[in-house]
Structure 1
């Protein structure tokens, strides 16, 4: 019966695993790939002195298309990196404009939506199908957990009998036997990494991830509460506390994830963006950057530029080391820090997710992390491929070729509890689990699927 469920799960997730593996591996190596794709835009010859950021912003505004509004500035992380400003066009789309930070020369522009890595990311997340694609990818991730769990259960007797030898290929009979050995060994080596991949990616999904973030935010297990997020101003005001407790009900309040930022830490995505003071003369972008640096912000942060009179600058830092995550809201008129959210302010759930995200994206410990992530991703693609080959070699013509329905079943209480809990935690998955179980029972009853005794299946 476990083999039967493993078959259903594998058949469903197979194409999604291949897409996730290819796109995930490409996106993991974004720091190395993008400079090769756009060398004239992203790289410059380092010189002794940079131009002020405010001067670069003014030059960018002059060179931008008519009607374009500057929304975001990305602080350079390396001496040979260009300065990037993002503009919102009258059409509603966004465009990145690149300047030489030493000479002010305009290097060119790129569409934010059409950028290669943006497309790769959207395929990885939603197959370029919008909300439908996001739900399909989320469902595939959850069914991957079913596939891994049932696969490990069938491999477990081999581990008990053979010990560490279970992680090596055994002599096989025929081509199908050889593919089976490859599949078993790949699965045994990749299981832990695959589970970690799935669990670290789920908090970012569109349906369950969104609800989970809202729950973590409401219980202060995710983002920090208002009392913890005002380092520069002492205790939180009554307004801060009100915003913190009623964020989900105030449709007029803007959250950090609604800002024109390409990357926002998971913990601060639903935090409310505060308002600043009124004034006539805004502070310069250089003053904002200096304030952020003085408050411990690391290099490579993005700055969301204020879009209204009382709007604030938002500095969002999303570095490789989660401990460097930072979100600062700075008053555009007096330059004061209105709100400062640090990693130490996060709840325990958000801290764990921050580390999981950094590891998932291959960013935490450099190239080694990237290689490990790529190996897991491509290994999962190998699992999908070997499973497909075994299925094609085994299945009869014009038949699905599912494993035979057993004549008798043990109680399998632990599995029923486990799948029930999975369905409760992930309701969409629970519905599909129940649907597959009902279809499987009906098909087995109506078609009279040949039955075997449990002892006849060789694992």
Structure 2
């Protein structure tokens, strides 16, 4: 007859240690993860909704002929916008409008005012404030700020950094507990099963989310620089970079920086191989400087080439194919986090992961409520489990926690706070019992 060996004292100690950590993190950080998941789900649903809500600004009857881009810009300037012309995004496809972008006092960081122009007739269809390099519209901007910082500015970013820092830790701790329980029990709880199914997605969202964080984000940038993963930048003057070296025979004349030059600039960029539907043409920072033209497609295959144009000549080029692998992975990771890399399938995956995280957090609180000391069911794992685990393993785990805490400071600070609270509660209980 086959018998099942009882779990060793060491394995019980390890399980108890992970159980207490998972419990503290789940109860105290769970609300932050829940809010991040809810707002992330809403954000993933917005692209199609935006196309419907802002259809008057975005869509026009398709025409066989289009006005020169400079005439479209003139139409936008005729509306007497309050700000300064900074960039133009030509209509990406028939039936879409051209965006003429202006900087404006009073707008937030990374915000610009877009005047939408019918490329066939020059009719202005409206204006909206757009945000970020993706040019998202007001609805998605609101959800982005809600997801990123609860619309509280820089102080609110601490919430999202705390959620991103702990999401991976909670997910991995839950995996350890699920595996250890599965070995000795055939009963699988929905909380653990859902957590296992969304584990890979949770780790991905945690890692990519930290790139936007206030403190861990600085360490991510420093690490990328140290290993050569930084995103290269386009040289805006001189003979160019990479394929942009056209030799000594070209002496570009100074750019005027005026809207009338934009047709020539656009043509030069197309001639240099920038064939993406989405293009942004940025005006020179000052008269005589080069224009920047960049592909802004976020899907696959990636189109992220950029050129500098001066006097009708391409004087600098930056090709996405020449990016270091790490820079490409970073770009793809961020785009996938935002639901842009694979189109609607990317949105569906994010929706499933987000709903899974929401369900896991809610079921986790349900488990805690049913097992709380006053409920009469079960008992909490006793403190001091780390004393029963192998000393070498505890030291290694502690060293890992220190490194993780240095890299993600909010993780380290909150973990230390958990441990201090646990010790203080333990001492109070001991005093009450004595």
TM-score by shorter chain over 0.5: yes
Deviation at 1:279, TM superposition (A): 4.9
- Pick the aligned partner of 1:112 from 119, 130, 133: 130
Contact 1:4 1:402 in 2 (8 A): no
Aligned to 1:373: 350
- C-alpha offsets along residues 205-228 of structure 1, whole Å, 9 cap, x if unaligned? 233224422552465322238899
Deviation at 1:440, TM superposition (A): 1.8
Change (3 A) 1:403 1:36: farther
Aligned to 2:90: 75
- C-alpha offsets along residues 171-221 of structure 1, whole Å, 9 cap, x if unaligned? xxxxxxxxxx12111011111111012112222323322442255246532
- C-alpha offsets along residues 236-290 of structure 1, whole Å, 9 cap, x if unaligned? xxxxxxxxxxxxxxxxxxxxxxxxxxxxxxxxxxxxxxxx964557562222222
Aligned to 1:442: 424
Greater shift, 26-35 or 99-108, is seen at 26-35
Greater shift, 33-42 or 82-91, is seen at 82-91
- C-alpha offsets along residues 280-337 of structure 1, whole Å, 9 cap, x if unaligned? 5756222222222222321112222224213432223232126322232322xx0323
Alignment pair present for 1:421 and 2:403: yes
Aligned to 1:290: 267
Deviation at 1:51, TM superposition (A): 1.2
- C-alpha offsets along residues 382-415 of structure 1, whole Å, 9 cap, x if unaligned? 11111122223333569xx994433543134353
Aligned to 1:141: 164
Contact 1:322 1:354 in 2 (8 A): no
Alignment pair present for 1:233 and 2:245: yes
Change (3 A) 1:326 1:30: farther
Change (3 A) 1:450 1:190: farther
Alignment pair present for 1:97 and 2:112: no
Alignment pair present for 1:60 and 2:42: no
Structure-to-structure mapping, 1:46-445, within 5 angstroms? 46-65=62-81, 67-92=82-107, 94-112=112-130, 115-160=138-183, 170=188, 181-217=189-225, 220-224=228-232, 229-233=241-245, 278-280=254-256, 284-297=261-274, 298-319=276-297, 320-321=299-300, 323-331=302-310, 334-396=311-373, 403-406=380-383, 408=385, 409-411=388-390, 412-413=393-394, 414-445=396-427
Aligned to 1:5: 21
Q: Distance in 1 between matches of 2:214 and 2:273?
A: 32
Aligned to 1:270: none
Deviation at 1:106, TM superposition (A): 0.9
Q: Distance in 2 between matches of 1:17 and 1:313?
A: 43
What SS does the corresponding residue of 1:117 show, helix, strand or coil?
helix
Deviation at 1:153, TM superposition (A): 0.9
Contact 2:269 2:293 in 1 (8 A): yes
Q: Distance in 2 between matches of 1:277 and 1:31?
A: 42
Contact 2:221 2:230 in 1 (8 A): yes
Which segments of 5 or more consecutive residues in structure 2 lack a partner in the other structure? 1-16, 132-136
What SS does the corresponding residue of 2:302 show, helix, strand or coil?
helix
Deviation at 1:63, TM superposition (A): 0.8
Change (3 A) 1:277 1:430: farther
Q: Distance in 1 between matches of 2:158 and 2:147?
A: 12
Q: What is the number of residues matched between the two proteins?
A: 391
Deviation at 1:10, TM superposition (A): 1.4
Contact 1:44 1:80 in 2 (8 A): yes
Aligned to 1:256: none
Contact 2:208 2:333 in 1 (8 A): yes
Q: Distance in 2 between matches of 1:420 and 1:450?
A: 33
Contact 1:359 1:369 in 2 (8 A): yes
Change (3 A) 1:161 1:395: closer
What's the C-alpha RMSD, in Å, of the aligned pairs? 3.0
Deviation at 1:92, TM superposition (A): 4.7
Q: Distance in 2 between matches of 1:341 and 1:450?
A: 69
Change (3 A) 1:129 1:90: closer
Change (3 A) 1:278 1:296: closer
Contact 1:329 1:337 in 2 (8 A): yes
Q: Distance in 1 between matches of 2:417 and 2:211?
A: 25
Aligned to 1:239: none
Q: Distance in 2 between matches of 1:105 and 1:449?
A: 78
